[in-house]
Amino acid sequence: MGQESKGKPEIRVNSAARADRHEDDYTALIGMESAYSKMAEVEDFELLIGFYAADALMLPPDGSQIEGHEAIMSFAKEFWPAGHLTDYQSRGFHVAPGSRFGYSYGFVEVTAKGADGENVVTRSSDVHIWAQQEDGSWKIVLDIWTGSAE
């Protein structure tokens, strides 16, 4: 039993167990980001929405704010047919030890037909903020990306 300090029991956490949990969370986040990128390549909107928390927020380069499953689904159905994801590279991951939050970031390239019928390539950086849900799963709560057409 832990020592008492000011009437409250001292709580000791096994640092090896904490490190194992952190490694498990980190591995889970990498797996979710990998699955997300594969889903984006096949443009499966039903799977897409499963990666986002119900109250998730998207902040695309145009300055708009897209919030919640219904709005994200509507945006995805409009966005993806206009272009095709040609490259998605995850570049980094982080889960703060003892936290229910993590982030991933990467590079995205989308090719779409411009107004003149020619292909326009947009390259952007993408950041996902992930939150661990009550059931232990990880969901995107914030999706931010930049963009520049070439």
pLDDT tens per residue across span 26-70: 788 888 888 887 776 666 778 888 999 999 999 988 889 999 999
Which architecture characterizes domain 13-149 according to CATH? Roll (3.10)
Q: Where are the beta strands (DSSP E) in the chain?
A: 4-5, 8-9, 52-59, 66-67, 83-95, 101-113, 119-132, 138-145, 148-149
pLDDT tens per residue across span 36-47: 877 766 667 788
- Supply the pTM of this predicted model: 0.75
Angle, CA of 130, 88 and 126, to the nearest 5° = 45
